[in-house]
Amino acid sequence: MKYCRFQLDGQSHYGLVESVAGREEITRLLLTAPEETGGDMEDLATKRMDHIPLAEASLLAPVRPSKIVCVGRNYREHAEELGNEVPAEPLIFFKPPSSLLARGENIRRPRIAQRTDYEGEMGVVIAKTCFQPSAEEDIRSYILGYTAVNDFTARDLQNKDGQWTRAKGFDTFCPVGPLVTDEIDPWAGVAVETRVNGEVRQQGNTRDFIFPLDVIIRYISQAMTLVPGDLIATGTPKGVSPVVAGDVVEVSVEGVGTLRNPVVDE
Ligand code: MG
């Protein structure tokens, strides 16, 4: 199933997204937050509502994570394009929840940054508490679903600071959405594409991950407890480049849809 979070009459709601006559529509309200179900999205209680086309909805970021954990350099060709070694184990860093942004909202380029890059990525939403799972456990049971993320980055500050917190952490630097789905399989392969002003800049597939998702989740949860609703950004394919005010970035993840955000100056 697919769900989104949206605003209606001044209140935020979760909504079930279904295809109606070839168009995606929000068809029902979800009466509990999906991340509170332990991964059983099919059992969510729903309430009837007037359908809203997804394209016209006032979407909110579909996740409310306690933390956003990102994987750096998880595609070989992207590591190489920035002149980096292919890592021997996952490289992880945080973005703060204050950087979250919904579909359609403006990414604000900070005045102090010279170069700001998009990074189109598939995102993973955690279903249930995960800390050092045993080797026999199926990691899929910890996953609620998948979404699209733009791991927006102030590249010059990333290089200057060494630590990535500031470069990755500005407000508006984590667009997420438009929805969360459990109907795709990143192990089998999910296409990730980024366009700037309609021109294709990145085309990757999750089957080319250096570290598959089970390895990533086990690695992160060796160190820290993942809790329901936490978001993992799984790394970007090759093709990152700068964007400026006036550009529009679209990250499309197969089965999720398109996360579209204009870029403006602060
Ligand atoms: Mg990234």
| CATH 3.90.850.10 holds for 68-265 | yes
Distance, CA 110 to ligand 1 centroid (Å)? 18
Give dist(CA 30, CA 37) in Å, integer. Answer: 11
| SS3 label, residue 185 | coil
pLDDT at 77 (0 to 100): 87
pLDDT at 41 (0 to 100): 86
pLDDT at 139 (0 to 100): 97
pLDDT at 252 (0 to 100): 98
Element (H, E) at 221: helix 213-223
pLDDT at 81 (0 to 100): 85
- CA distances 34 to 98, 125, 182, 227, Å, are 21, 10, 11, 13
Distance, CA 152 to ligand 1 centroid (Å)? 8
Distance, CA 48 to ligand 1 centroid (Å)? 38
Distance, CA 32 to ligand 1 centroid (Å)? 31
pLDDT at 40 (0 to 100): 83
pLDDT at 87 (0 to 100): 87
Q: 88: Cβ–Cβ under 8 A, 6 or more apart, which residues?
A: none
pLDDT at 52 (0 to 100): 98
Distance, CA 62 to ligand 1 centroid (Å)? 19
Instruction: Assess contact for 86 and 73: CB atoms under 8 A.
Output: yes
pLDDT at 128 (0 to 100): 96
Q: What are the per-10-residue average pLDDT scores of the chain (266 residues)?
A: 96 97 96 90 91 98 98 88 87 97 98 98 98 96 98 97 97 98 97 98 96 97 98 97 98 98 97
Instruction: Assess contact for 28 and 46: CB atoms under 8 A.
Output: yes
What residues does each domain of the chain span?
Answer: 2-60, 68-265
pLDDT at 152 (0 to 100): 98
Instruction: Assess contact for 257 and 149: CB atoms under 8 A.
Output: no
Distance, CA 78 to ligand 1 centroid (Å)? 10
